[in-house]
Structure 1
Amino acid sequence: MGSGKQRWKISFHKSPSPLKQQLPAEFLCPLSGNLMADPVIVASGHTFERSCVHACVSLSFHPTLTGAAADFSAIIPNLALKSTIVNWCLLHRLDPPKPLAFHSAEKIIRQLMPPPPPPPVEFNRTPSVGSSEESATPRSAPSRTPPPLLLTTRPSCYSSSSSCDIEITSSSISLEEEELYSRKMKSSEIHEQEEALISLRKLTRTREESRACFCTPRILSSLKSLIISRYSNLQVNAAAVLVNLSLEKQNKVKIVRSGIVPPLIDLLRGGCIEAQDHAAGAIFSLSLDDQNKTAIGVLGALPPLLHALRSDSERTRHDSALALYHLLLVQSNRVKMIKLGAVQLLLGMVKSGHMSGRVMLVLCNLAASAEGRAAMLDGGAVECFVRLLRCWEFESEESCLAALYRLSYGGLRFKGLAKECGAEEVVEGLEKRGKSEVAREKCRRILEVLREKHEEDEDMNWEELLGFNDDLTKYTVTGSSSS
């Protein structure tokens, strides 16, 4: 502390000695001994000058104060103390203190650090018994049960956790902070990369200010390289940070334009289960912006999202379905899905009761295009939907009715298929006992289509229309296989 006081004299040489003695001890940084210009509270409850905290994080130094080691996993601006210090300086006719430069803080911290014990301990790059849950695990290592998610996507299970003590009030980050995180994420030491990711994950978890200011080209570039790391926990934490950043509308287009979607797609295809959860969540979050929908489809996200509907993880299935729902609001993506043979897969899932509600939403958007309606009519969607609607307690009744209504734009082809499976009787019953006015209105519209020009339809050869003669059957099979 002697050297600290000497530095204080240099910085405030104009102050009289008695005034210096009156300076409250809580105004001084315990590490530098200087009057704090930018005080912050860390996770352990200690208060330091911000640059000293960054220097400690950079040097992996955790000083012990009042019997407890400082924990720098969270940094909260102490605005009340900062205001008090400034007011105190003005009252005593002193210039408010200026922030301590990072390189100066680093020199101070190096002097406080004990000499390294010989020999240096090499970082263990393989999992071992008793290792931390946050340790980096190579993808080739034996699998183990992943720790509970610290962050989940907003649509499926994201919430602002009450247990999170992070509160960021600053609307921007300094170049020094950005440089610090970027340098650590690009470090050759795996534990430094993981430390930076965990810190960013906490900082961006709940406050939109931190998510906005950390979405920079440098940070995104560093995340991009770590998403494809062979270490599963680096993948998980990098993807989780990206999910957090993507929650802010102003970040969505910026993230897609950074080129980070292809690594996310690769992670969705071959990452560990928890990493796939976050990859699906990030793609879903990015797909909410209309400017991103076409780009995400062009970059190849549709096939892995379709495959992820059968994932073992509920979160991955949920967010993949919702991502497809939003991506299929764009016609070009509907055409791609049809060419992938998605209709038969989705109808099969609905028939088996697997994610029927979410899958029905995807089918609704497919039915919004002529190509989608044709593929669904050929795939037996009308019969499938009518059979489901016969069940009085079908949980996705309104979605099913919406899909059937969109199929009703299929003209005579729809009317023929609907007549064959007795759709009119089923829809009449639903119109009478509809659970909501929206459902009853859909029923009325479907019935209008089915009853339209009823007299002329009596002379229609429905078997020929439905493709039961040899020529139409051959045409239907050929057309279906080519799609």
Structure 2
Amino acid sequence: MAEAGVLEKVTNEAMRILSVLKELKFKKSSKVLEVTMTKETELKKELEKLVKTILVEEDYRVEVTDEAMRILSVLKELKFKKSSKVVEVTMTKETELKKELEKLVKTILVEEDYRVEVTDEAMRILSVLKELKFKKSSKVVDNTVIPEEFICPISKKIMNDPVVLATGQTYDRPFIQRLLNEGHRTCPQTQQVISHTFLTPNHLVQEMISKWCMERGIELPKPLVDDDVHTDADRVYLKSLLEKTSSSLSDQKEAAKELRRLTKSMPSFRALFSDSTDAIPQLLNPLSPGRANTHPDLQEDLITTIFNLSIHENNKQLFAENPHVIPLLVESVRSGTIETRRNAAAALFSLSALDSNKLIIGKSGALKPLIGLLEEGHPPAMKDAALAIFKLCLVLENRVRAVQEGAVRVILKKIMDCILVDELLATLAILTSQQEAVQEMGLLGAVPCLIDIIRDSSSERNKENCAAILHTICLNDRTKWRAVMEEEKANATLSILAEHGTSRAKRKANGILKILNGAASIIHTL
């Protein structure tokens, strides 16, 4: 290890000194080489020789680097003449996210008592838009003709961190490093056995790439971490696994287990699915509609794979728009192992990050089995079901469906049993926009439960949600005023909240007190 560190330091210092020597020679040199070459192939051959000289010889002349730069400039002009303008990349997902963000920001600016979840969702969308911006910059690079010398032989993309292997070939660091980490000891280009695994930064190529990008206003993609890297070998392996899903039952089960493992441990495999139009149908092939649970272990592995894949942002719209994915997930929430049902609910939650997906999922009848899964009470599955219900109910149409499917009764019962109180109170607060839900809450004894939470809970968010729900009930149901007034006289619960709660909780508590104070005479007649 010590020798490796010394060698790396020496190599880096040598590269630094060579860079300084180049500058010194440049100042002394006045003669500029002028070689007129019209054929692109000849220019490339000459460039290849020059770069090899720079990499191999320590005492190469400064004119060598100048000539390499000149050839690259000529190649650039040739490419510009042949290439069309960069095509503007249109992204429907980005437009949709912007519309959703606009609605959320409008809510924050206009409504005084907006929920804290609104800001959370706005922050999530901003984060996704940031990632899309980086990817769009990368696509601009993809649509511009890039000099071959700037492209990594493994990834086939412009290099971000060019390094030199022992054989003298240049690669992008994360891609060659991954091969080395996997135990490969031959150069991918020359097939030579490498004498050592040290990677030397190729500062010259890095400088050329930076200058080339700067001249075109292109932003280099972010440096890749290992999880983002997928190779041709990954694609081939994925293809072989998907082909097995159309084979014998034993092959299907074997492939499903491996896909489950890979999509959990390797984000790069999740990304591969968005690159192929056939991948989703092949993945779903073993699960026949209406008979998905014929082989519970196979169903569990494939549904869990879908959940793993749904986490990747580029897969969300693809999966939701496939006519078979959502119905299969809904069926799997109803039947299968508890792990299958839980992961199907988790996949619906993940896919519901987009508003358009919320509508698709709601129309597919997902809310009824999700509410049923919540009611059954399996601890791990309950939370995934509760989160999916909450996410879906952010869309008005789904609130109506949830109330019709009995969500209020199930949610209130869980809250009264002190189960998933945080998550379910947030959902109950959303459902108060439905008159039918408010009436049902009153009939099911929500008022005493809400008051107890306001008085005894240590969670400010829970107190806030309870106050919001109670305020809506008081606005719509006079028969509940007496119980609230008696609690206030006994414990001053709302007065304390109006003084010490969050800003929204204070507003709601004061609103309730105002209703009660203004209606004292009416209460005596009830």
TM-score normalised over the length of structure 2: 0.52
SS in 1 for 2:278: helix
Aligned counterpart, 1:475: none
Match of 1:296 among 346, 354, 361: 361
How far has the Cα of 1:229 moved from its partner?
4.8
Q: Would you tell me which structure has more helix in proportion to its own residues?
A: 2
Aligned counterpart, 2:50: none
How far has the Cα of 1:415 moved from its partner?
6.0
Match of 1:255 among 319, 333, 337: 319
Aligned counterpart, 2:296: 232
Match of 1:364 among 403, 407, 429: 429
Which AA in structure 1 matches 2:509?
A: L
Aligned counterpart, 1:474: none
Aligned counterpart, 1:85: 187
How far apart, CA to CA, are the structure 2 residues paired with 1:284 and 1:178?
A: 26
How far apart, CA to CA, are the structure 2 residues paired with 1:186 and 1:313?
A: 34
Q: Do the aligned residues in 2 keep the contact of 1:367 with 1:407 (CA within 8 Å)?
A: no
How far has the Cα of 1:454 moved from its partner?
6.1
How far has the Cα of 1:426 moved from its partner?
7.3
Q: Do the aligned residues in 2 keep the contact of 1:243 with 1:285 (CA within 8 Å)?
A: yes
How far has the Cα of 1:432 moved from its partner?
4.0
Which AA in structure 2 matches 1:182?
A: L
Deviations 1:48-69 (A, max 9, x none): xxxxxxxxxxxxxxxxxxxxxx
Which AA in structure 1 matches 2:313?
A: K
Q: Do the aligned residues in 2 keep the contact of 1:306 with 1:342 (CA within 8 Å)?
A: yes
Change (3 A) 1:311 1:219: farther
Q: Superposed, which structure 2 residues align to 1:259-270 within 5 Å?
A: 259-270=324-335
Which AA in structure 2 matches 1:401?
A: E
Q: Do the aligned residues in 1 keep the contact of 2:349 with 2:387 (CA within 8 Å)?
A: yes
Aligned counterpart, 1:159: none
How far has the Cα of 1:377 moved from its partner?
3.3
- Calculate percent identity across the aligned residue pairs: 24
Q: Do the aligned residues in 1 keep the contact of 2:296 with 2:336 (CA within 8 Å)?
A: yes
1:182 is aligned to 2:242: yes
Which AA in structure 2 matches 1:457?
A: A
Aligned counterpart, 1:305: 370
How far apart, CA to CA, are the structure 1 residues paired with 2:516 and 2:255?
A: 69
Aligned counterpart, 1:102: none
SS in 1 for 2:319: helix
Aligned counterpart, 2:419: 354
Which AA in structure 2 matches 1:242?
A: I
Which sections of structure 1, spanning at least 5 residues, go unmatched?
A: 1-36, 40-75, 93-165, 465-483
Matched residue pairs, number? Answer: 314
Deviations 1:283-322 (A, max 9, x none): 1211222221111111011111101113453221110000
**Which segment is superposed worse, 174-183 or 308-317?**
174-183
How far apart, CA to CA, are the structure 1 residues paired with 2:511 and 2:491?
A: 12
Aligned counterpart, 2:278: 218
Aligned-residue Cα RMSD (Å) equals 3.6
Q: Do the aligned residues in 1 keep the contact of 2:260 with 2:301 (CA within 8 Å)?
A: yes
Match of 1:444 among 506, 511, 521: 506
How far has the Cα of 1:217 moved from its partner?
3.6
Q: Superposed, which structure 2 residues align to 1:196-211 within 5 Å?
A: 196-211=255-270
Aligned counterpart, 1:329: 394
Match of 1:420 among 458, 478, 483: 483
TM-score normalised over the length of structure 1: 0.57
Change (3 A) 1:423 1:213: farther
Change (3 A) 1:425 1:461: closer
Which sections of structure 2, spanning at least 5 residues, go unmatched?
A: 1-152, 156-176, 195-225
How far has the Cα of 1:332 moved from its partner?
1.0
Change (3 A) 1:310 1:414: same
Which AA in structure 2 matches 1:420?
A: A
Q: Do the aligned residues in 1 keep the contact of 2:311 with 2:350 (CA within 8 Å)?
A: yes
How far apart, CA to CA, are the structure 1 residues paired with 2:521 and 2:369?
A: 47
Which AA in structure 2 matches 1:448?
A: N
**Which segment is superposed worse, 377-386 or 263-272?**
377-386
Change (3 A) 1:173 1:277: farther
How far apart, CA to CA, are the structure 2 residues paired with 1:318 and 1:176?
A: 37
Q: Do the aligned residues in 2 keep the contact of 1:416 with 1:462 (CA within 8 Å)?
A: no
How far has the Cα of 1:397 moved from its partner?
6.1
Change (3 A) 1:86 1:351: closer
Which AA in structure 2 matches 1:327?
A: L
How far has the Cα of 1:269 moved from its partner?
0.9
Deviations 1:134-161 (A, max 9, x none): xxxxxxxxxxxxxxxxxxxxxxxxxxxx
Q: Superposed, which structure 2 residues align to 1:165-180 within 5 Å?
A: 169-170=229-230, 176-180=236-240
